[in-house]
Structure 1
Amino acid sequence: MLRLGAAATAALALTLTTPAGPAGAAADPAPDIPVSNVTAHLSQLQSIATSNGGNRASGRPGFNASLNYIKGKLDAAGFTTRVQSFSGGSNLIADWPGGPANQTVMLGAHLDSVAAGPGINDNGSGSAALLENALTLAARKPTLTKHVRFGWWGAEEAGMVGSRYYVQNGGASGVEVYLNFDMIASTNAGYFVYDDDATLQRTFSDYFATIGLQTEGDREGDGRSDHASFKSAGVRVGGLATGAGAVKSSAQAAKWGGTAGAAFDRCYHSACDSYPSAINTTALDRNSDAIAYAIWKLAVGGTPAENDYSISVTPSSASVQAGQSATAAVSTQVTSGQAQSIALSAGNVPSGVTVSFNPSTIQAGQSSTVTVATTSGAAAGTYTIGLNGDGATADHSASFTLTVGGDGQGTTWTAYKAYAAGDVVTYQGSSYRCLQAHTSLPGWEPPNVPALWGRA
């Protein structure tokens, strides 16, 4: 995401309809995007950055290698690709054959990083999720009612140069909708949907409602990413984000989990924006599936999969002392169609806590025992842990609230929390005063970092 804001002019009012598909044809269900495939792309982008000076900035070797990696995957899958060069970088454009060429749904993400780091969340996350969605489209080969085009932009971090160049050189012609994905896996994730167009916003919000998540309109990214280039040309725009340098509120933490008072992305525009530490896999999985939902909704006319299930946890909360554990039952039920295999995992797990499932893979309609264990060093506090089901055709999650009462020694220091100079905490019975403002990380316990903490 671009650091500095940019004004975007009002978009022209256009009408978008969701086609029903050929008469009598069964709707092709939106696919579940394997998050492991998306993270494999991120691992490759990290390797590229590591081998090229630690970044993938536009016009530099790391960016060029990233573009070639994605282009190679798309070419092999049957896309028609072209590289559009401009002063300071290049764009990669990929068209999937099919659908009316003058009625295009376009999806994009900027591929460049800042010079300070590898840019794995900003914006390897959007680029990788877009790539895997494109490859899934190619593998599924659905009947298209709209043409589908993908774009990976250069020089977004320099002021949306690549997308603006594309639009100014006729790229927006025939594009009815542009969807943008910039930073969709922030570690302290929020679930933000661009609110530039109410219909497109509702498309994404409807998807997140199926997995029990409420969204908010994106404010932080207004005018700061590549959708602004299309909006200025009168194209209807939408998209997703999980937050950048803004701070998560208490209400947002209660709704989504994570840490209130801390940045959504603590490594925004920094060297630590690297794989895997800078990626929230749960958020990446959900947003990747949301992209697929939008493609199928807008260009294929499909609906969520007929095979579906619900997931719940009983009890939904527990209170323990540090060093203790709690168990609960994760239950699933078939809500439509046939039973499907579900892989269970946990998200938003705080430092000092582990979550395990027995068994870890079940069929819809079955249950699993989840064990939430804490170490003696787990920080006191209340945490919302996501218990996630990754099904063959649908993903759902349930929330488990864990309250840790402390380690018996009065620890109040918490990882992933923003501390200001002068703040006083207790760690294993000793009081410490914050010397420099910072956001705490695991391993930065007060006794370990005298540069940040002194005895109070």
Structure 2
Amino acid sequence: MKLSARLAALAGSSALVLGALAGAAPATAAPAGATAAPDISVANVKQHLTDLSTIASNNGGNRAHGRPGYKASIDFVKAKLDAVGFTTSVQQFTYSGTTGYNLIADWPGGDPNQVIMAGSHLDSVTSGPGMNDNGSGSAAILEAALTVARSGYQPTKHLRFGWWGAEELGLVGSKYYVNNLPTAERAKIKGYLNFDMIGSPNPGYFVYDDDPAIEQTFKGFFSGIGVPTEIETEGDGRSDHASFKNVGIPVGGLFTGASRVKSSAQVSKWGGTATAFDRCYHSSCDTLSNINDTALDRNSDAIAHAIWNLSGTSTPPTGKVFENTADVSIPDNGAAVTSSVTVSGVTGNAPSNLSVGVDIVHTYKGDLVVDLIAPDGSVYNLHNRSGGGTDNIQQTYTVNASSEVANGAWKLRAQDKAGADTGYINGFKLTFP
């Protein structure tokens, strides 16, 4: 996707930073002066994939743990990063009597006590070259890291990237890395972003639902380019983010699907066929021809969007944002449902320009009535069955709530008033200037 098109699609949207708890603690709005993420060149990502494919071909057809193709892959990525100024280190571990390797790359600068980390496993299974699983994630974060260097980006937080070994044998490399981090160093990692299989040939667009702020950052990107997302369930806990999550580090990530079959509803949503998301999962046919370029492009841009937004700039944040990113199903022609946020720490009444962010995924918004309910029960209508046959409500409303006490439980209420269409509340937030 060209940068101009992506920035236009994202205009007016706001990203969240780490630390939010759904429906509870306030998060801070993305810095007002945040630098927009550069476009990630999908051609460059594909060239990295081509290079990894050549490495596999020259080393017995795979890049698996303990095989020469894996060490050659580590050396390839390290050389690229060393050349542009990253500080790299190779961490060795032993599994089943064989030496494995992790590659860690730090971008100089940023607060060392506030680390944002992106990672992917670099190994394949023994049966194939592993271009989607997981050359796709590895190549995309490599290009994101190189883009950081080319752009001279200097974020407020410290950026770190990781490529893990022996993931296919049980998350061995990432577990080794996390388990050997002192407790104080673990505490410095404020978010770990995982990318495992992001170019599936029959793709879906799945977002991890672990840390709410990271989740909403990814959802906001895809909403901005008009691509619906779903919560990732097929591989939950089966990739390297689990190693970080298990020690209390906030995690998130993206996924385009593996061996599970795409449903008819998902075909209607994303296109493709009602077959496996990746028919070549863990097979010899996971080659360069097993990559969907559109999915790879979109997810690569989403990676950059998250890295830039979550790592921050030197511009101080303004305002207070309270959000709930938990999905709430809206029953077809049924009872009203609500999503709640608890506002605290705001003095006096709500403002006359209270910003109400609504993200509802629905197949026919003309069925919907949507209201904001103040803590005292006062109702402010936001949407009343307008818009006809168009889908989704992804809009920010301005409400004069100056007669309402700011602190307390605010609710977004949604009700489907007619039959045949379904949806859910994807997110709800209040922004106090």
- Structure 2 distance, partners of 1:155, 1:17, is 37
Q: Name the structure where helix makes up a greater proportion of residues.
A: 2
Q: Which residue of 1 aligns with 2:245?
A: 231
Deviation at 1:300, TM superposition (A): 3.0
Partner of 1:289: 301
Output the CA distance in 1 between the equivalents of 2:117 and 2:34.
Answer: 21
Match of 2:139 in 1: 128
1:33/1:285 contact within 8 Å kept: yes
Task: Name stretches of at least 5 consecutive residues in structure 2 with no aligned partner.
Answer: 1-18, 316-433
Out of 152, 156, 160, the residue aligned to residue 171 of structure 2 is 160
Offset of 1:58 from its aligned partner? 1.3
Letter in 1 for 2:279: R
Cross-structure match for 1:212: 226
The one-character-per-residue Cα deviations of 1:145-172 (angstroms, maximum 9, x if unpaired) are 1101000000000100000000000163
**1:186 matched to which residue of 2?**
200
Structure 2 CA distance for partners of 1:19 and 1:207, relative to 1, 3 Å: closer
Q: After TM superposition, list the pairs within 5 Å mapping 1:143-158 onto structure 2.
A: 143-158=154-169
Task: Tell me, in whole angstroms, the C-alpha distance in 2 between the residues paired with 1:32 and 1:54.
Answer: 32
Unaligned runs of 5+ in 1: 1-10, 304-456
- In the alignment, is residue 60 of structure 1 matched against residue 67 of structure 2? yes
Contact 1:38–1:128 at 8 Å: present in 2 too? Answer: yes
Shift in Å at residue 141 of structure 1?
A: 1.5
SS of 2:219's partner is: helix
Tell me, in whole angstroms, the C-alpha distance in 2 between the residues paired with 1:256 and 1:286: 13
Structure 1 match to 2:393:
none
Shift of 1:287: 0.1
Contact map agreement 1:19 1:145 (CA 8 A) in 2: no
Question: Counterpart of 2:341?
Answer: none
What per-residue deviation string (whole Å, max 9, x for no partner) do you get for residues 220-250 of structure 1?
1111000000000100000000000000000
2:207–2:232 contact (8 Å) kept in structure 1 = yes
Correspondence for 2:257: 243
Partner residue, 2:325: none
* Aligned-pair CA distance for 1:98: 1.1
Q: Deviations over 1:155-204 (max 9, x none)?
A: 00010000000000016341010000000000000000001122211110
Q: State the 1:124 CA deviation.
A: 0.1
TM-score (normalised: structure 1): 0.61
Question: Which residue of structure 1 lines up, in the alignment, with residue 388 of structure 2?
Answer: none
CA distance in 2: counterparts of 1:223 and 1:208, whole angstroms: 23
Letter in 1 for 2:68: P
Comparing 174-183 with 136-145, greater Cα deviation is found at 136-145
Alpha-carbon offset, residue 19 of structure 1:
5.5
Aligned residue for 2:283, secondary structure, equals coil
| 2:34–2:309 contact (8 Å) kept in structure 1 | no
Equivalent residue letter for 1:114: V
Alignment CA distance shift 1:17-1:160 (3 Å)? farther
**Candidates 178, 181, 186, aligned match of 1:172:** 186
Q: In the alignment, is residue 298 of structure 1 matched against residue 310 of structure 2?
A: yes
Counterpart AA for 2:301 = D
Cα distance in 1, alignment partners of residues 117 and 139 from structure 2: 16
Distance 1:45 1:172 in 2: 31
Question: How far, CA to CA, are the matches of 1:121 and 1:179 in structure 2?
Answer: 18
Q: Is the 8 A contact 2:187 2:249 kept in 1?
A: no
Identify the match of residue 79 of structure 2 among 72, 81, 103: 72
Percentage of matched positions with identical amino acids? 63
Report what 2:117 is aligned to. 106
Q: Which residue of 2 aligns with 1:87?
A: 94
Q: Give how far 1:15 is off.
A: 8.2
Matched letter for residue 284 of structure 1: L
Q: Is the 8 A contact 1:16 1:176 kept in 2?
A: no
Once the two structures are TM-superposed, the CA of residue 107 in structure 1 deviates from its matched residue by: 0.4
> Counterpart of 1:27?
34
**Match status 1:195 vs 2:202:** no
- Pairwise CA distance, 1:16: 6.3
Paired residue secondary structure (1:235): coil
Relative to structure 1, the CA distance from residue 302 to residue 291 in structure 2 (aligned partners, 3 Å threshold; closer, same or farther) is farther
**2:285 matched to 1:272?**
yes
TM-score between the two structures when normalised by the length of structure 2: 0.64
SS, match of residue 290 in structure 2:
coil
1:301 Cα offset (Å): 4.4
1:236 to 1:44, Cα distance in 2 relative to 1, 3 A: same
RMSD across aligned positions (CA):
2.0
| Aligned amino acid, residue 272 of structure 2 | G
Q: Counterparts of 1:19 and 1:258 in 2: how far apart (Å)?
A: 35
Q: Which amino acid aligns with 1:188?
A: N
Partner SS for 2:88: strand
1:342-399 deviation digits (Å, cap 9, x = unpaired): xxxxxxxxxxxxxxxxxxxxxxxxxxxxxxxxxxxxxxxxxxxxxxxxxxxxxxxxxx
Ranked by relative contact order (alpha carbons within 8 Å, sequence separation 6 or more), the top structure is 2
Alignment check: 8 A CA contact 1:28 1:302 kept:
no
